[in-house]
Structure formats: C-alpha cells, structure tokens
Structure 1
Amino acid sequence: MTRLWIVRAGKQGERELAAIEQGRLLPGFLEVGDLSTCKGRDAILAHLEQVMPDAGRNRLKNFAAQLNQFAYAIQVGDLVVMPRKVTDGVAVGEVTSEYKFHSEDPFRHSRAVKWLNEAVARDAFKQDLRHSFGAFMTICEIKRNSALERVRAVLKTGIDPGSLLGKQGKAAIPPSDEDVEAEDYASDIEDIANQQIISLIKSEFAGHALADLVAEILRVEGYTTKVSPPGADGGVDILAAGGTLGLGEDRICVQVKSGDGTANHDVVLRLIGSVSNTQARTGLLVSIGGVNAAAQKELDNNFFKLRLWQMPDLLKALFRAYGELSDETRAKLPLKQIWAPISGGDE
C-alpha cells in the first residue's frame, strides 16, 4: 500500500537545491552513522545515545522514530512531499530506492526520488494539508483526511478536492509509539505564518508590483531608488544608490522575478551585464521562485558582485523595514508581531 511522507531538507532549506538537482531525499542528521547497521528503532536509539550524548531522552526517542521511518518504513513507490523554505512551494516525488549511506558524502543519509513536480504552490492545497506540511518533524507520515489521494489529485489536476472521507478521514487506528505522523505533533507556527504572508505578497504585489515593494524596502534602508516602468526592462527593474541624493558609491542594480518558476543561468548573466551597463557596483537578484543549480553556481562565482534574495531573505528585509513602510503598503500587508514559545524537532 502506497503511503505519503514528509521529508524536509534543512531548517533553512539548505539542502533543497541539492535534493532537487540530485533526485535525492536529504534529511540531515549528519552526526549519525550508517542506519543499515541499526535494525529497528531501539538499535537506532542506542546509536543516537552514543553520538548525541547531550541530547535529552525524549528528543533522542523522537529522532530514533524518524530515522527508523526514513531507513525502514518508507518503501519504494511511496510518495513524498518536501516542503520548501526558499520558495513558497512544495516538491512532490516518488521514492525510487532503499536507504543509502555514504560516509564520504556530505549529506550521508539519502534515498533516491523521482520528482513529479518540484514546485507545487502551497495554495494549491487546502488549509488542513498546508498545516500538515508545517509540522515540526523532519520525517513523518501524512495519512489523515485522504492526504495521499488529495496530493495525487493536485499533481494530476492542480486542484485539492478536500477530504474525500469527511470525518472518517482520520486514521482508524491510533498511532503507536513507532509512528511519527504529522498531525500528532505541533506545527511550526512561524513557518505557517510566513507562508500566509508569502501568499499575501503574491496576491497584493503580483507581477511588476513586487518591484515597487522591493524598492520601498530599499528606500527604508537608506537608498534612493528608481523603478523601471512595467514592460521590457532589459534586466533592470530597480536602480538603488546610497549617499546624499543617491550619488554615493553604493550602487545596486536589481532584477526582480515575481513568478513561481526558478531563475536560470541566463537571468544571472543578464544581471551581470546590467550591473556593468548601469555602472552599478552590485547586482541583486530577487527571485521568489528560487534559482536552479546553474544560476546558484554563477552567483557563487560572482560573490563580490552579486547577491540573491529568495523568499526568506525578502521576508527578513520586509520585517526589518515594516514599521517605516507607507500606510498604503502596510494596509495591503497588515502584519502583527507576536512572541511564541520555541518547539524543537526539525534538523
């Protein structure tokens, strides 16, 4: 029987790009040794007690249950969701290999996956599934509310039909101590809130309007800005400069990509050309759909010339500037800061 799993790729999405490009699930736990030598959760727990001696007992039991699922419970043919941090989407794939461990591999633990869709918008799913995707766990199963059938439906039609079983959609048998299920653990409130803010940004600042928002954030940070009019921009959406009257040496050429698709190598090359043509010192690429591996490599090769804002970076900049944004902008993005206790569990 096919099952549906969540496998994350880092608290900040630091392994997402590698997971997508390499077709692998990369859950982390880098201090942990080869799980194929640990048969069962108790054996994994004993190993964790050796390699993570300072962690609490309950935390280790939680990790052992997750790792046992990754190594042994997930089966070839199961579907997996990787909630993405650097974009607002999720990747959905089919597991194609058993657990593998490579001591020389920087990611160590992995399973091969065939990605069926690398960037499904979270808004394609109804709220209950979005909350499941926001569970704190790195590895867990989603089996309530017809989750598997609904993910399949979204892959096929783009539409979440909702719970097909109504109130009967919950698991008939209560989860045992061996289970790690998304609905049985606290959600990452910050992540869920961020996803709601992202949806609001995409709705209120669609298309070229996102350049206006980025320009306003830069103005709050002390830059004088010039926004190109809508239409063909030749790779320049915003020019920003520091100093009196914007005549300082801190000159930035900004390219804003508001679509869900990843920015590719050509986008970065055009930005490099625009930096030169406009006599800017720095290029800033704002891409809410992230970048692909070739684009990231080009950005890395131009570390002293280019910077990248993906969705988490844009949110951080927005939060820094929010109190000084215009009344009109804050009316479109009504936000309130709250304090909440921290819950752990994600690697």
Structure 2
Amino acid sequence: MALWVVRGGRGGSYAQWCLAEGRAAAAWNSVPTLAHAQSRDDVVALVAPTMPNESTAKVGNLASQLWGLRSIEPGDTVILPLSSSGTLAVGVCTVGYEHLDEHAPARHSVRVHWRADEVPRAVLGQDLLNSLGSLLTVFQLSRHNAEARFAEVLRTGVDPEATADDPGETPSESVTTASGTLLDPEPVPTTESIRDRVRTHIRTHFREHELTRLVAAVLTVRGFHCDISPPGPDQGVDILAGTGPLGLDSPTLIVEVKSGGGAIGAPVVRGLQGAMLSHRADQGLLVAWGGITREARAEIRKDRLTMRVWDADDLLDQVLDVYEELDETIRAEMPLKRAWVLVENES
C-alpha cells in the first residue's frame, strides 16, 4: 500500500471540511471529472484547456498531482498536514476517486477514514519532516522507510527511526514515477519547515529532564520562581512555581513535563489534578511533547479554568516569544536568529 500527502488548500482553507466529510481532496474545480482517465496523459488532456496561458511544464505538474489523487486506492495511507495546529491528520482511503458536485469546496476527492487522534509533527524524525516539506498539493512518500515508520507512529506514537542529531537528508528534486505521479518532491523553506527544524533541535538537545529545565526557564521569564525536582520519580511534580518576592504568592503552579513522543492519556491528567490538591496549588500545567489523547483533553476541559496543556508547538511558541529574555546558557544551547523574509505564494 502507498503513502500519500494531500494538502487541504492554501492555508488549510478546506482542511476541516475534509476531516468533517471524511475526504482528501484537491480544488482544481475547473478541471472536469477524472473518472474516465486511464493515464497521466489523459489528465493532461483534461487540464490543458483550463490553463490556456500556462506553460507546458505547469500544466504537466498539475496533471501529475491530479493523476496522483486519481491513483489513490482503498487501503492506502493518506496524510493531511494541519498547519494551524502543527499536527498531521492520518487516515486510510476507503473509496477511490470521486468527482463531487459544485457545492463541494474541492471537487476531486477520495474517501478517507481519519484517525481520531492527530499525529504531532514533533514526534517525527527530521528526515520525514523534510519529505513533508513540499508545497505540492498531492504527492507520494517513499524515502526513509516512510510507510513503515508512519505505521509505527500510528501504533505507538513514536517514530522508531528518529535519530538524535541527524537533521535529515534533503531529498533531491522530485521524481515522476513511470505512472506519472510525483514521488518525494523537493522541500522548500517555509515557516512550517523552519518550525520543524527548531522543534527537532529542542527534542534532541533538551531530552527528558533537560526539557523540564527549558520549561522552567520560560516560566522564570514569565515571572515565576521555579523549584525543579531532581531527575527520577517525582510523583507528578516536575516544577513547583510561585510568584512574589519569595515565590510563595498566588498564583502557585505545579508543572508535569512529559518529553516522550507518545500522546499522554487521561491517567496522567488525573495524577496532575491530584498533585494540585495535595500541594494546594492554584494552577496546573501539563507539558506533553507528544500531545494528549482525546480522553485526556476531555479531562482537562473539566478544569479548564485551572489547568493548561502545552504540546510541542505551544512550548515552541512560548520559547520564541521570550527567547531574547532567556538565560544566556539556554540561548547558547539553542542559538536562534530572528529574520524577516518576504512571504511568497505558498499555494
């Protein structure tokens, strides 16, 4: 079975529709149905009249992507990047190509059974993140044992081949298979890919108890006095924090830090709730690098006025927001430089 990436429009414009409707889709709606197309050349013949002023290369590129969508079969794995949350929706194709009516935002589609819990990009090795870095709407992944690794991520929440310091081999230019689909296209630098690289650096250089140290550094900038528990069993308390001159004033905060790749379940949330009661803390913060399960999110919602969760993207946002104020030791371990760039067309 093949592994495909199908994006949800510019900026994820119809990604939520795809999830709600159980579909992966492409919105080149001026192109008529591909139902009778038997080859990429057939798709070129359908695309060309809709793009009379475009180059042969651009027509061919679009045709290759549409032919890729046309080629997705039941049983194939489909990935839908969700740029708004830093996660990947992953599902299995259940019905092949269908052409939808004019009410659909994206008319070329396949049906997909989406997995309930999304996959955080933070749990993937940088090589797989590089492979996801193309701006094409539809393409196939094969490099770096991608299909088997995604299967393991879905089973355990952990990428078995994510290495500690390897930034990942940059794929070469995209390859068109004999059938005409695009395979492992070249990544391009985007805000998303830059965040991927920084997240990978944090995951590999601030492992286990070191991640607790990074969280404490962020909270210190935010005005908390932090007491960090030593490495080892901590009974659900990695950081005790408070405000005021002595760190004893409200709000007081208990922090549990989970640096593993797998999603954290409801028992950990209930453990943090218990620790808040026993320590008479005003607030609780769960830092879950691999995210939390749907059941855990439901538990958090019961105490949404006193508890928060930071996943990898939330922690990255916090780090970037206070970076210039962090301790110089932390900044030396995570050297970043702010840069302004012109945002080009990312469609």
The TM-score with structure 2 as length reference comes to 0.68
Q: Which residue among 151, 170, 175 is the counterpart of 1:170? A: 175
* 1:26 Cα deviation after fit: 6.5
The equivalences for 1:273-284 within 5 A come to 273-284=274-285
SS of equivalent to 2:250: coil
1: distance between equivalents of 2:290 and 2:84? 8
The equivalences for 1:194-233 within 5 A come to 194-233=195-234
1: distance between equivalents of 2:91 and 2:282? 41
2: distance between equivalents of 1:304 and 1:94? 37
The equivalences for 1:51-90 within 5 A come to 72-83=70-81
Aligned to 1:183: 185
Aligned to 2:304: 303
The equivalences for 1:103-182 within 5 A come to 111-113=111-113, 121-123=123-125, 127=127, 129-137=128-136, 139-142=137-140, 147=142, 150-154=145-149, 155=151, 158-159=160-161, 170-171=175-176
Consecutive unaligned residues in structure 1, runs of 5 or more: 46-60, 102-108, 161-165
Aligned to 1:51: none
2: distance between equivalents of 1:66 and 1:249? 59
SS of equivalent to 1:235: coil
Q: Highest relative contact order (Cα 8 Å, sep 6+), 1 or 2? A: 1
* 1:134 Cα deviation after fit: 2.0
SS of equivalent to 1:203: helix
SS of equivalent to 2:277: helix
Contact 2:2 2:147 in 1 (8 A): no
Alignment-mate amino acid for residue 284 of structure 2: G
SS of equivalent to 1:5: strand
Consecutive unaligned residues in structure 2, runs of 5 or more: 35-42, 48-58, 101-108, 153-158, 163-170
CA separation of 1:150 and 1:232: change in aligned 2, threshold 3 A: closer
The TM-score with structure 1 as length reference comes to 0.68
CA separation of 1:168 and 1:195: change in aligned 2, threshold 3 A: closer
Contact 1:7 1:25 in 2 (8 A): no
Contact 1:259 1:289 in 2 (8 A): yes
CA separation of 1:113 and 1:219: change in aligned 2, threshold 3 A: same
Q: CA offsets per residue over residues 115-139 of structure 1, 9 Å max, x none?
A: 6x9578432x6x4x533302345x4
Q: CA offsets per residue over residues 103-158 of structure 1, 9 Å max, x none?
A: xxxxxx9833476x9578432x6x4x533302345x41136xxx268323545894
SS of equivalent to 1:142: strand
* 1:324 Cα deviation after fit: 1.8
1: distance between equivalents of 2:281 and 2:24? 38
Q: CA offsets per residue over residues 257-288 of structure 1, 9 Å max, x none?
A: 00001110001111111111111111111011
2: distance between equivalents of 1:183 and 1:331? 34
Q: CA offsets per residue over residues 38-76 of structure 1, 9 Å max, x none?
A: 7359xxx9xxxxxxxxxxxxxxx9xx9899679755321
Q: CA offsets per residue over residues 21-44 of structure 1, 9 Å max, x none?
A: x995677x9xx9xx9xx7359xxx
Contact 2:259 2:290 in 1 (8 A): yes
2: distance between equivalents of 1:274 and 1:25? 42
Aligned to 2:6: 7
Identity in percent: 27
Q: Is 1:39 equivalent to 2:40 in the alignment?
A: no
2: distance between equivalents of 1:238 and 1:277? 14
1: distance between equivalents of 2:241 and 2:282? 10
SS of equivalent to 1:240: strand
Aligned to 1:49: none
Contact 1:23 1:113 in 2 (8 A): no
1: distance between equivalents of 2:71 and 2:259? 39
Contact 1:70 1:99 in 2 (8 A): no
SS of equivalent to 2:276: helix
SS of equivalent to 2:329: helix
Alignment-mate amino acid for residue 111 of structure 2: R
Paired residue total: 307
CA separation of 1:71 and 1:172: change in aligned 2, threshold 3 A: closer
2: distance between equivalents of 1:23 and 1:159? 33
Q: Is 1:253 equivalent to 2:254 in the alignment?
A: yes
Q: CA RMSD in A?
A: 4.9
